[in-house]
Every structure is written in C-alpha cells, then in structure tokens.
Structure 1
Amino acid sequence: MMRYPAPLAAAAVALAALAGFVDAVAWIELLGFFASFMSGNSTRVAIGVATGDWAAVRIGGGLVLMFLSGVIAASVVGHRFAGRHKAPVMLVVTVALTTAACAAWWGYAMAPLLLLAFAMGAENGVFNRDGEVTIGLTYMTGTLVRLGQRLTATLLRVPGDHAWTPFLALWLGFVCGGVLGALASRTSLAGAITIAAVAAGLLTLAMAAATDRSARVRRVAPPQR
C-alpha cells in the first residue's frame, strides 16, 4: 500500500469502507452470509453440507460463485485496459451495484444480494499488478497480519521502513464502512444499496482523476540517471 501515491492510498481506504458497508448490509439481510467474506460463506457451505442445511449450501454457494464471477470480470477488464485499469474496473463495480439497487427497488430479494457479491469480487481487481492483488480491499485478515508484523518490527527496531499506519487505516476504513452499512440497512435494502452505488460512482470518478494525475506526474518527471 505504501507504493501508491497518497490519493490512491486514500481511495483504497475509501474502497475498504465501501466493502465494509456492503458486507454489513448483506450480512443483516442474509442472516449471517456475506458479500465479500468468502471464507465465512465457504464455512457456512461446509456446515450446511455436514448438517443437511441445503438452503445454506445454495445461498453460500451462490454468493461464492458470484464473487468469483466478479473477480473474473475485473480480470478481463484489467487485461483489456492494462496499465490504466483502475477506473474501468471501478466502473464494473458501480454498474453491478447500480443494477443491484434497481433490482432491490423492483422488489427482488436474492438477486440484489448476489450482485453485491459480484461487485465485491470485482472490487478486488482495482489494485492489481501483474495479475496479483496488491491491496486486499474486501478481506482484512491479510491486512491485520501485515499490521501485526509491521508493529512487531517497529517495536523491535528492525532496520527498514515498517510503516504500519496504512494498514491500520485500511482496517478502520472497513470497520467504519460496516457501521454505516448496518445503520443504512435500517431504512431499506434498496436505500442502502443505492447509497453504495452512489459512493461507488463517486469513487470511480475519483479513481479516474487520481490515475490521470499520477500519469501526468510520471510524464513530467525527469529521467533517472
């Protein structure tokens, strides 16, 4: 995360907040299933198989498949717009969330939540380099591991740059987004998803502006000698 300029690092925190928002909404609506936390959904599928709860298997399996579909869609877009993929991938996220909001307003129950999982899968393709995710936006386990490692290195005064605040900011962004998502879900599913869609649209514009600014800076930077 430290490799990115400040505007993109701030966008990463905002995207983590969006993921927390969406995950909280999905968890409340689906009574314990997630839009972004596929380890949790996979565990629910496993327990469902063991206990014969086939409804849980269908819901959890559907969410996992939609999340995977979002990852694939973002990867295709990333290959198509190699080197300038962030805004196009965010556009995929925005379209998915907008479609989910429309489906919710039209009275559909499950389709909007499946689209939330698709959007969260796609979101993980925003910060991607050479086919690998560089910032995990929708899952915080890796972030907390890195936070703990950096804190330990700082306490032990290990030589090198061991900045830990970016990882703390990413985790706090996710948690704050979850709080807002839980509050928004008190109104209606459609209203909560609409908020997420609008936020994604604004982040798409911000990502495009930040990416364009970074490109201009690279063009005017003096050559290395």
Structure 2
Amino acid sequence: MLRETFDSEARLSYVLAGLAGILGATAFTHSAGYFVTFMTGNAQRAALGYFRDDVTLSVSAGLLIVAFVSGVLVASVCRRHFWVAHPHGPTVLTTVSLIAATVVDVFDLGWYQNELDFPPIFLVAFGIGALNTSFVKDGEVSVPLSYVTGTLVKMGQGIERHIAGGELSDWLGYFLLFASFTLGATAGGAISLVVNGTGMLVVASAVCAVTTAYTYFHQDRRALLK
C-alpha cells in the first residue's frame, strides 16, 4: 500500500495539488480576496453578504461557485466523449482557461496592473473546477485536488486507523496532498512578491501547460498500457 503513495499517479496528484495552491494564491493575493479553491467560503459569502449589505460580495461569490461547477461539468462531459484515451485530459481545459484568463486580463487592465479584475478570476475558478476532475474512479472523483477540508478529514481518519493497528499509508498520501497544496500556495505567495497579477497568471499558465503536456503525451499512455 505504501508503494501506491509514491507511484506515478500519486506523484502527479501532488503536482496538480501544488498547482491548485498556486492558482488559489494568484487569486487571493492579486484580487479583492476572491476564493477560487475554497467553495465552502464562497457559499458562506454568497449567503452572508446580504446580511452585511454587501450585495457585490454575495453575487461575486455565487458566480465563482457557478464557474467552478461549470468547470467540473464541462470537464466531465469532455472526459466522457473526447478524452476516453486521456484519463487526465481535464488539465488541457485548465490550461486553456488560464491562458484565456491571461488574455482577458491583458485586454481589460493591461500588463502592468497589479490587481486582477473579476473576469479572469472567474475563468481561473472554471479551470480549478476542471482540474478537480483529473482523477476519476468508477465515475467519481477519487482525488479532490483543492478540497483541503475533505483531505484533512480523511487524513485524520487515516491517523486513527494507523494508531489502531493500520499502516502508515492510511494517512500519508492525504498528508502529502495537503502539504503539496500548502507548498503551492506558499510558492504562489512568494511569487506574488515579485510579479503582478498578470505575471502570476503567466507563470500559472506555463506550469499548467508543462504539466498538461506531460500527462497528455506520457502519463496517460502509461495509464492506458496498464
């Protein structure tokens, strides 16, 4: 079981979780504090913004939820009809979304504005939703890349099983997934100190494009051969 924690699929999940962390940092550090990975927070904002007389907060949070779910939906449809031979095809959609977000931001505010406006953030949330469908088993997401709350719950349960006589692998994979997301967010925060919001979108697009190329032309072929 411990071997599965470090196999090629697991390593890829850690890389993509780190990418999700970078995207979350991009939106949070160079915008009005929008969440693109934290849909629980957006759900609360959508409901509670009205009680703070902040309709804009409620509407923007609700739209980000719509973008995230739309990303999941479109990626799932593509998996069923177009990416049958590419288990990790959703990374393609994430890359396209990030490039589109960069283009929209440049046309909206130019290269030199530090803050990102809402339209590119909307596209990033769509891309994050698609990214979360990268690992599917029996028609359900098996590795939720940006769902840190669920990851921590599973990690806690795994620690209990390990204490009760289980194995290290009961929780180590979840810890590494959480650590990867946190490391990605930290890296994104560090990058935000030296580049503006558009620059961070460019960096995230480049990282996602490289990862997509690897998964599409190498990792997916290995998975199908197995």
Give the structure-1-normalised TM-score. 0.88
Matched, 1:213 2:212: no
Task: Label 1:76 to 1:5 Cα distance change in 2 as closer, same or farther (>3 A).
Answer: farther
Query: How far does the alpha carbon of each residue in 1:200-220 deviate from its partner, in whole angstroms, 9 at most, with x for none?
Result: 11111221211202322x2xx
Query: How far does the alpha carbon of each residue in 1:79-123 deviate from its partner, in whole angstroms, 9 at most, with x for none?
Result: 114643434211111100111112222234221111110000101
Q: Give the Cα separation in 2 of the matches to 1:88 and 1:214.
A: 12
- Please tell me whether the aligned partners of residues 71 and 126 of structure 2 are also in contact (alpha carbons under 8 angstroms): yes
Counting only pairs closer than 5 Å after superposition, residues 16-55 of structure 1 correspond to structure 2 as: 16-55=17-56
Which one of 140, 152, 161 corresponds to residue 148 of structure 2? 140
Which one of 115, 118, 126 corresponds to residue 126 of structure 2? 118
Q: Give the Cα separation in 2 of the matches to 1:200 and 1:82.
A: 18
Q: Give the Cα separation in 1 of the matches to 2:107 and 2:190.
A: 22
Counting only pairs closer than 5 Å after superposition, residues 157-172 of structure 1 correspond to structure 2 as: 157-158=165-166, 162-172=169-179
Secondary structure, aligned partner of 2:61: helix
Counting only pairs closer than 5 Å after superposition, residues 29-108 of structure 1 correspond to structure 2 as: 29-81=30-82, 83-108=84-109
Q: What is the letter of the counterpart of residue 183 of structure 1?
A: A
Q: Give the Cα separation in 2 of the matches to 1:141 and 1:24.
A: 17
Q: What is the letter of the counterpart of residue 139 of structure 1?
A: Y
Gaps of 5+ in 2: 110-116
Cα RMSD after superposing both structures: 2.0
Q: Give the Cα separation in 2 of the matches to 1:68 and 1:85.
A: 21
Which one of 168, 182, 190 corresponds to residue 189 of structure 2? 182
Secondary structure, aligned partner of 1:86: coil
Shift of 1:131: 2.5
- Please tell me whether the aligned partners of residues 49 and 57 of structure 2 are also in contact (alpha carbons under 8 angstroms): yes
Deviates more, 1:89-98 or 1:160-169: 160-169
Task: Label 1:92 to 1:4 Cα distance change in 2 as closer, same or farther (>3 A).
Answer: farther
Q: What is the letter of the counterpart of residue 128 of structure 2?
A: M
Q: Give the Cα separation in 1 of the matches to 2:170 and 2:214.
A: 25
Q: Give the Cα separation in 1 of the matches to 2:72 and 2:57.
A: 23
- Please tell me whether the aligned partners of residues 24 and 182 of structure 1 are also in contact (alpha carbons under 8 angstroms): yes
Query: How far does the alpha carbon of each residue in 1:155-181 deviate from its partner, in whole angstroms, 9 at most, with x for none?
Result: 1214x7843211111001000110111
Aligned residues: 216
* Matching residue of 1:222: none
Query: How far does the alpha carbon of each residue in 1:115-145 deviate from its partner, in whole angstroms, 9 at most, with x for none?
Result: 1100001011111123211000011111111
- Please tell me whether the aligned partners of residues 8 and 207 of structure 1 are also in contact (alpha carbons under 8 angstroms): no
Q: What is the letter of the counterpart of residue 143 of structure 2?
A: I
Q: Give the Cα separation in 2 of the matches to 1:5 and 1:157.
A: 22
Give the structure-2-normalised TM-score. 0.88
Gaps of 5+ in 1: 219-225
Q: Give the Cα separation in 2 of the matches to 1:162 and 1:5.
A: 10
Q: Give the Cα separation in 2 of the matches to 1:204 and 1:126.
A: 11
Matched, 1:155 2:163: yes
* Matching residue of 2:209: 201
Q: Give the Cα separation in 1 of the matches to 2:190 and 2:131.
A: 22
